[in-house]
Amino acid sequence: MTYPQAIQFLYGLRWFGAKLGLSNTFKLAALAGNPQDRLRFIHVAGTNGKGSTCAMLESIYRAAGLRVGLFTSPHLVAFGERIQVNRRVISQRDTARLVGEMRSLLQEGWRVSATHAFGSSPAPEAAAAEFANPPSSAEHPTFFEVVTIMALRYFAEQECDLVIWETGLGGRLDSTNIVTPLVSVITNIQYDHQKWLGETLASIAAEKAGIIKPGIPVITAAEGEEALQVIVETARRQNAPLTTLSPTEMHRPPLDCIQLPLLGQHQRMNAAVAAATARALTRQIPVDDDTIRVGLSRVHWAGRLQLVTRPNGQKILLDGAHNIGGAGILAAAVHEFFPSAKLTLVLGILSDKDWAGMCEILAPLAGRILLVPVPSERSATPQELAPACRHANPRAQVVECASLGEALTATVSDSFVTIAGSLYLIGEAMELLHLSATRQANERRLNEWSAIAAPAHTAVPARR
């Protein structure tokens, strides 16, 4: 299998959508030899800050001399961003080899036909033909389930000392929840993905708290009685030692003397979570405060309040704020770090988000707002966003653009531009602004998914 064929095959898995549940992942892991049993994990869930916290933990343990695997989603530009070892993305050769192996496992476990002759172009439409008489979408492993096991195989092959393991959606029924970690982390609980996780903070917290395992320590910075009480009760039932962090942790050594490379007070809270997690594991993996300081001072995480200065002096702030909580964080950061900036906002939001609420928060930041479609089948249109932005900021000039490229051309003379609303949009921006070493527009489309909600009574299979 070549790399383009591997990407094409992964596109074919989109036929099966995305769903919540662990039975397929357990079955596929067993066919793969249960690679998770040969690895150690830190499992990270939460509404916002998961990726940044994972990047911080990875940097801390790499500073400690460990070989560290990192599994995150979505990718911004290239598929390989999801699977990294010591911050080196999985190679195209290893991707092709492992996808070929996963294809064989699917043939073995789900009787998927392999008769389709691959073309040279990774077109999703052509890839769907890979599956002759496929089983129902409720039975067949999804893209994320397959990639989860593929990552486990790779990390086991690479003999990683530790894997930083980010949940995809929720936690309780997320594919990543087949592992038993050294520690479970829940960054925070806010509104997002209500269609699948529930309409209340308590229901969302219950899904996130589903990663808590019997006797395994838990670290959380969740606030608010409704959500926190669910985490406390879940930890108590599981006899899992729980550490809850307050904002005062941001000023505890060594955080009190670190200049984080990532902007925003929220990142200092994420750093506090990462530091507390490292301290909770000192018996299994000794890490001192100096190593924590070095790791946090070197962390890099693209697309999250990432400030870029272009050759003409123009400043562009890229932030994947993709829900109400993320929009609030971006607004707070703009007020804190760029209070006098004459801001132009380029905004694109997915239709299944609370885009009206996000417009209410973000539109007042700018004197000029350019609305663009997100490169996604789920994008809200600029025409939908425009009334909400005009209502939130009647004095702003609101422009509806056909594409992000058109918006960037229209803002080339603006001194300060913020691009926000979706990580998918940030990935496109990184390509158009030549901030990525690769140009993989086709691979960005692998992020597309449409979930099949699991019934609330769905049970988690017994852990093996």
What is the structure's pLDDT at 450?
55
What is the structure's pLDDT at 327?
95
Cis peptide before 254 (omega within 30 of 0): yes
Average pLDDT, the chain: 88
The length of the chain in residues reads 464
pLDDT in tens, 370-409: 999 998 888 999 999 999 999 999 999 999 999 999 999 9
What is the structure's pLDDT at 133?
40
Q: Where are the domains of the chain?
A: 3-302, 306-434
Is residue 424 scored above 60 in pLDDT? Answer: yes
The listed CATH number (3.40.1190.10, 3.40.50.720, 3.40.50.2300, 3.90.1150.10) that belongs to domain 3-302? 3.40.1190.10
What is the structure's pLDDT at 140?
81
What is the structure's pLDDT at 88?
97
What is the structure's pLDDT at 272?
97
Report the share of the chain in percent with pLDDT over 90.
73
Average pLDDT of the segment spanning 214-229: 95
pLDDT in tens, 304-361: 899 999 999 999 999 988 889 899 999 999 999 999 899 999 999 999 899 999 999 9
Closest by CA position to 266, among listed 352, 199, 332: 332
3-302 and 306-434: identical CATH topology: no
What is the structure's pLDDT at 115?
35
Q: What is the 3-state secondary structure (H, E, C) of the chain?
A: CCHHHHHHHHHHHHHHCEECCCHHHHHHHHHCCCHHHHCCEEEEECCCCHHHHHHHHHHHHHHCCCCEEEECCCCCCCHHHHEEECCEECCHHHHHHHHHHHHHHHHHHHCCCCCCCCCCCCCHHHHHHHCCCCCCCCCCCCHHHHHHHHHHHHHHHCCCCEEEEECCCCCCCCHHHHCCCCEEEECCCCCCCHHHHCCCHHHHHHHHHHHCCCCCCEEECCCCHHHHHHHHHHHHHCCCCEEECCHHHHHCCCHHHCCCCCCCHHHHHHHHHHHHHHHHCCCCCCCCHHHHHHHHHCCCCCCCCEEEECCCCCEEEEECCCCHHHHHHHHHHHHHHCCCCCEEEEECCECCCCHHHHHHHHHHHCCEEEECCCCCCCECCHHHHHHHHHHHCCCCEEEECCCHHHHHHHCCCCCEEEEECCHHHHHHHHHHCCCCCCCCHHHHHHHCCCEECCCCCCCCCCCC
Q: Which of 31-45, 124-138, 147-161 has the lowest mean pLDDT?
A: 124-138
Is residue 206 scored above 90 in pLDDT? Answer: yes
Average pLDDT of the segment spanning 117-128: 37
What is the structure's pLDDT at 75?
92
The confidence band for 43, taking pLDDT boundaries of 50, 70 and 90, is very high
What is the structure's pLDDT at 12?
85
What is the structure's pLDDT at 438?
65
Higher pLDDT, 28 or 19: 28
CA 251-253-255 angle, 5° bins: 60
The listed CATH number (3.40.50.300, 3.40.50.150, 3.30.110.30, 3.90.190.20) that belongs to domain 306-434? 3.90.190.20
Average pLDDT of the segment spanning 4-22: 82
Contact, 135 vs 154, CB < 8 A? Answer: no
The confidence band for 262, taking pLDDT boundaries of 50, 70 and 90, is very high
The confidence band for 441, taking pLDDT boundaries of 50, 70 and 90, is low
Residue 256 CA to residue 270 CA, distance in Å, equals: 14
Average pLDDT of the segment spanning 15-39: 88
